[in-house]
Structure 1
């Protein structure tokens, strides 16, 4: 006697699926664009697996939209890179001293980056949204494919874990494929309200 109710529920779920998928795709697109805006100081641990080249680990710290530090942790011993106010610096002694590498128009670079992400966000497809617990904290998961054709053909599959209470992106796994190259970057991020980065003279 429960079959009519089950059938009705199935039909309702089936009819809702396209709308839900469209809503999910919109969430992914909005997150991609919003993620280009600096929100708060953050420290991220990153693992990059490149096909045919192995695995590397690094740390990325950002205290402002134009002030960030990259340092390799495995293999260790590589140069650190610091960007501040439109200039990139390099340190070969773990931050003891810095040498300016080059300067650039930070506002123009930022605007071009945002435009590129906005264009990529318009290609979202195969979006899937859900919920998972990450380190005991409830997160919304957003997952989708995107692609770009300029300056080269790149296909990307990304999954994001978004803290349901704060909106903070705690984790992401992004796989990029292009002719002759594939890499997967896993990034685990944490808010760092007391973060202080060097200010090279």
Structure 2
């Protein structure tokens, strides 16, 4: 009896690279003379995280509805616009980026920051973060980074349906601590994980500072 093909998921860091990889795979199969083939599932990492969030909701792992980054941005604006004059639009983006970095680098949550070490901007961000989290809970939603921060633990406990093999393509930079933990969890769960790059040692300060001169990232 023929064994079914292994379930394979290919992950890329960006949607653009995912599209390019799909074209390359199709071109290679076509040049090999194949007219039909079973293509692996190929997703950008953010899309896969969204799929995992939906699976978590449907299976009862979480009881709050996942929201997109665009939806989270509206909540940040609602929180911040009560305190900031119109004319400071970059504050929203700075807070979003700080919230992401806190989770990506597995830094202490704002409510855990030592009061004596905080600047005025850090205190304001701490208060906004608390209001943002409270607003999410009040509306029964969870943002992508709060969800992603808990994902490694849930994967390790075997609460998700996962493919047999995951191939990481295009991850040339070492992963951040959160994604390193995520990849560790996948391997611990028995997934055949391929294409991992070198571990990144965290170098960010324990308490992030909000700096308005920080250039937006290009991810």
Normalised by the length of structure 2, the TM-score is: 0.23
Q: Which is richer in helix?
A: 2
Normalised by the length of structure 1, the TM-score is: 0.24
